[in-house]
Every structure is written in structure tokens, then in C-alpha cells.
Amino acid sequence: MDNPEGKARDKAWDHVPQGIEEQGKKVLVCNFCGLIMRGGGINRVRKHLAGRKGEVAPCMVVDQDVRVAIEASLKETNDERKEKVTSNVVISDDEEQEGNKGIHNSSRHVLYIHMNA
């Protein structure tokens, strides 16, 4: 699977190669259970391998060491996203407008949240 320039290739791709259906559509096939995934990206693949229920059926036969490594990767990604979101948000008292506070993020958008007094 191709990866964007400058980003490391996710190890989950080693366990879910890309295939082609008869109709010519790309699919991902789990090396452990044979699940065919039509659509979704690396996050969905990692949730499958980590055994998480929800967006995709969990893999019940994945090697334990793979499951643990993928789960750690998911946790790391979630922690990085939370850190990125928190570091880009600034709450400013300067922006008060009749009970509203302006919240600025790094893309210079302002979101006004009504603050009940």
C-alpha cells in the first residue's frame, strides 16, 4: 500500500494486503482470518487487528503479539491527536460578547460558544 510522502508506512499493512475483486474494486484481506474489507483505511484495519468492535468485525485469530503492537499503535495515534487538538485551541476572555467566548484554533477560525451565566 502506498503511503503519503514523509510518513512512515504503518506496520498494519504487513498483515492486510490489498487485493482486487472480480469487479475490479480494491479490497483488503486479513492474513489471519481472511476477512475482506471493502473500503476504509489504515485506522479501520488497525481496529480489526486490535480486536475492537464497532466499525469492522474484530479479528479473532490474530497473533497476540500483533494484537498488542497494533493496540499500542492505536493508543499512540489517539494520544497524538488529543495532544494536537489541545495544543491548537486557545480560549480568550478578550472575545466575550454578551455571554459568548471566542475559541481560536490554529486555522484562525473562531467558534462562539454560548456561556450560560
Hey, is 6 helix, strand or coil? coil
Query: Per residue of the chain (117 residues), what is the pLDDT tens digit?
Result: 454 455 578 889 999 998 888 888 899 999 999 999 998 888 899 999 999 988 899 999 999 999 999 999 899 887 777 777 666 555 555 544 444 444 444 444 444 444 444
For the beta carbon of residue 65, count every other beta carbon within 10 angstroms: 8
Cα–Cα dist 116/111, whole Å: 16
**pLDDT in the model for residue 110:** 47
| Angle between helices 42-50 and 64-87 in degrees, nearest 10 | 130
Cα–Cα dist 37/77, whole Å: 22
CB 32 within 8 A of CB 15: yes
**pLDDT in the model for residue 41:** 85
Which residues, in sequence order, are bridge partners of residue 102?
92, 112
Cα–Cα dist 101/8, whole Å: 39
